[in-house]
Amino acid sequence: MPKVLISDSLSPAAVAIFRDRGVEVDVKTDLKPEELKAIIGQYDGLAIRSATKVTKEVLAAATNLKVVGRAGIGVDNVDVPAATQRGVVVMNTPFGNSITTAEHAIAMMFALARQLPDANASTHAGKWEKSRFMGVELFGKTLGLIGCGNIGSIVADRAIGLKMKVIAYDPFLSPERALDLGVEKVELDGLFARADFLTLHTPLTDQTRNIIDAAAIAKMKPGVRIINCARGGLIVEDDLLAALKSGHVAGAALDVFAVEPAKESAFFGLPNVVCTPHLGAATSEAQENVALQVAEQISDFLLSGAVTNALNMPSVTAEEAPKLKPYLALVEQLGGFAGQITETRLKAVNITYEGDVAQLNTRPITSVILAGLLRPLLDSVNMVSAPVVAREYDIDVSETKRETCEDYHTLVRLTVTTERQTRSIAGSLFAGTKPRIVELEGISLEAEVARNMLFVRNEDKPGFIGRLGTVLGDAGINIANFNLGRRPEGGSALALVSVDSPVAEEIVKTVQGLPSVVQAKALNF
């Protein structure tokens, strides 16, 4: 039974989902880093919100951890590169609190435009300062969105309903999507120059950190109003503070801060600043939604292999997972075989998908084949980290898909280019579920992968099989299956021998020394 730790406060309904799905769950909140490190090795999954810090040190102690699920969008409290390196899938729930956060941004924009917090406090104090709180309309104003993804697009929809003109900067926003949303896609400097109100809806990354600084503010219209319900690190707070005091920025509405919880801030007490304590996702509906989603996602992954909303692995739906399972077993064998007989640096990898497999989601299949290929060459490579490792080692990875296949209903061919040569291996599924190697270096054969195998490339000359059998017999190694393939008579031949026990290195050297043998390699799966 998989075991999950919930280390931040989640809805009791999330706990019920885990238990109803057959996942053992412990709830231990407010753990100190050392306390988390001491127990995390017991768990397959970790469910968190923003309080738990999943650091490199925590991940190093998480020897059984397979998945971290963040109830919410932001994962800046998770060391995603370290998780990827250790093969831990990192998921979030980007849709569960989108509406709530978007509504809060709109509410903050209204509060800022009409000075609602100060007007409320003044009126409660028995004052009637009607002339003091002269606001501005949103109608007809230009709203600039930095980020137009899930939340930004909802804000755009609400703002268009308020008859605002909406412009957006987002490198991932296509012209077609912008047209569907009714927004104008612009460059960042153009947005700064035109926006009356500016709101941020982007994750905190190396590219977006400090995106609003003194230089950016200098490009903005005098009197601009800035709303941030995304991440505090997007704004250089000292630069914004100076612009607020000078009047270049007419006002700011901040739900997030560079350091949280923000018990002290130079923004507090300023008459043109509205502050809330990171309430973007703080509605009962959103808290329930993200908790339920993260419980479902973690359970699906641990029980069926389905991957939803992962940041470091291709998505696999619950419907796709059982269809992919036999292919994952096949390609792990293909990759492992190629990796074990590769002796020089990898330069390029091509995976060709033919027939039925070409109709499937091949991204996770490619990740597994890369993991199988790289694992014999590099320690601790897995399907999560393999694509990243391949990029780090400058290995060119490509895919080819063909809907038809001449000899089989489905075929996966792995072609590996090293510093010295190019090799290929192909496999298929027999009876829909049984992996078989069907081609090696252009030579047809049929072999079932066994735990212990011996691969031999030799010149096709009489007496080889007898000599090989004698060597193995003298070493007390029993042959389970002997699979042969060859080129036209007198050319080269291949042997894949399944044996009942590992073949020691000295036996491999003896085989290598036999007449006509070109290469011999012990394989383990």
Bridge-based pairing of strands 24-27 and 249-254 is: unpaired
Residues forming beta bridges with residue 185, ordered by sequence position: 168
- Taken in order 71, 75, 79, 83, the sign of the CA dihedral is positive
* Catalytic-labelled residue, pool 70, 194, 201, 231: 231
Asked if 45 and 296 count as a contact pair (C-beta separation under 8 A), the reply is no
C-beta contacts of 249-252 below 8 A and 24+ residues apart: 249/217, 249/220, 249/223, 249/224, 249/225, 250/223, 250/224, 250/225, 251/112, 251/225, 251/226, 252/112, 252/225, 252/226, 252/227, 252/228
* Catalytic-labelled residue, pool 34, 35, 187, 260: 260
Place of tokens 């050319």: 491
User: Catalytic residue at 451?
Assistant: no
| Rounded Cα distance, 28 and 46, in Å | 11
Non-local (6+) Cβ contacts of 495 within 8 A are 454, 455, 456, 458, 465, 468, 482, 483, 484
Bridge-based pairing of strands 165-169 and 142-146 is: parallel
User: Catalytic residue at 409?
Assistant: no
User: Catalytic residue at 231?
Assistant: yes
The alpha carbon of 101 is separated from its chain's Cα centroid by a whole number of angstroms, namely: 23
* Catalytic-labelled residue, pool 86, 201, 278, 457: 278
Cα pseudo-dihedral 21, 24, 29, 34, rounded to 10: -140
Q: From the DSSP assignment, how many helices (H) and strands (E) are in the chain?
A: 17, 22
| Rounded Cα distance, 412 and 357, in Å | 8
Element of type H or E holding 402: strand 396-402
The one-letter amino acid at 161: G
Residue 358 is given by DSSP the state G
CB atoms within 10 A of CB 278: 18
Active site residues: 231, 260, 278
